[in-house]
Amino acid sequence: MGFVFLVHHLRSRERFAMKYLPLPSAVQRERMLREAQAQARVRHRHVVRVIEQLDVGGDPATILELVDGSDLSEVLDGPPLAMDAAVDIFHQLVMAVGAMHAAGVIHRDLKPSNVLMFKRDGRWIAKVSDFGIAKLVSGDEEDSITTEGVALGSPAYMSPEQARSARDVGPRTDLFALGCILYELVCGRAAFGGTGAMGAMKAAREGRFEDSRRYAPHAPEWVHTAITRCLDPSEEGRIRSCKEILDLMGKEDTQADAEDTDVREGPGETVLYGERAGSHAPTVLYGQSAGSAVPPEPTSLLGSKLVLGVLALVVIALLVAVAVVLGQGGGGAEKDYVPLEDVLGGE
């Protein structure tokens, strides 16, 4: 089980999110480190920024840009989006995915719940998150710990080739997921939803989905064309790049806003996060069970002012137990973080 905490920089008082995985297996540890490595490669305003990786009592933790809002799945569960807003969100996602592919990163799990959302001046802003099963590609070498023949991802957004083997996919698997998201943005329903995991994968493999014109008759024609080309079950027949999608949209292929980020790095070389000993524990944003990306209840990360007290107590008890088991470790070497036992007010 992993957790995300709201933490703040002890000098600047700036708030961040800390993703923490207690007592991981070797594979879990490696996957979390790869996740941070993949996400850190991409510097774009529509990708959640990795600030730093930490070792917390022997367990991995990642400091991330804090996005105080909801996610796209919650937005889609609300009132229908205006067409202009839906197209704007999709444009942001295409730019983000283009930046990922340019950096040699294939996300492999693009879906609405992995797109964090907030509003600025009445406009929805999207930021892609959760690179937990991302694949790193560097030149002719592929950096992936995925076993050949294993399907990883979310069935309703998974390309047919990814359903066969997540290890062997290329960038076009993300373009398939973008097509699924575009369909949902403009039609208000999933392209391959409602039939269960196996049914969704079978429908995707057969290229079987209802014509988007039925649910979005007033959408621009390029929307229907992009959906059809992105959801081609054949990787060879599918649209080839984010640039081609932008061409269909009539948008320029530009990364002009790649460095226009919404987060500042902490000052100085030594970065301290958390609370000082004896003070309150960090706020629990949500607890995440393995294989699930949905918080058990709305919390502060999702726009609520309420913090789940019971969950917080459970997490605190878990972390105290971890601290007792692992001990303080030897030596008086300087550390560039505040240990969680200090955060929780331990001796």
**DSSP letter assigned to residue 15:** E
Q: Which two tokens stand for residue 283?
A: 């706020």
Active site residue 109: yes
User: What is the torsional sign of CA 166, 169, 170, 171?
Assistant: negative
Of the candidates 76, 21, 59, 65, which has an alpha carbon nearest to the alpha carbon of residue 39? 65
Tokens 């080739």 belong to residue = 161
Buried/exposed code over 25-44 (b: 16+ C-beta within 10 A; e: otherwise):
eeebeebbebbbbbbbbbeb
Catalytic residue among 109, 130, 174, 232: 109
Q: Which two tokens stand for residue 314?
A: 């459970």
Of the candidates 98, 48, 93, 40, which has an alpha carbon nearest to the alpha carbon of residue 69? 48
Based on C-alpha coordinates, what's the Rg of the chain? Answer: 21
d(CA 325, CA 97): 42
Q: Which two tokens stand for residue 61?
A: 């933790």
User: What is the torsional sign of CA 88, 66, 19, 143?
Assistant: positive
Start-to-end CA span in the chain (Å)? 26
Active site positions, annotated: 109
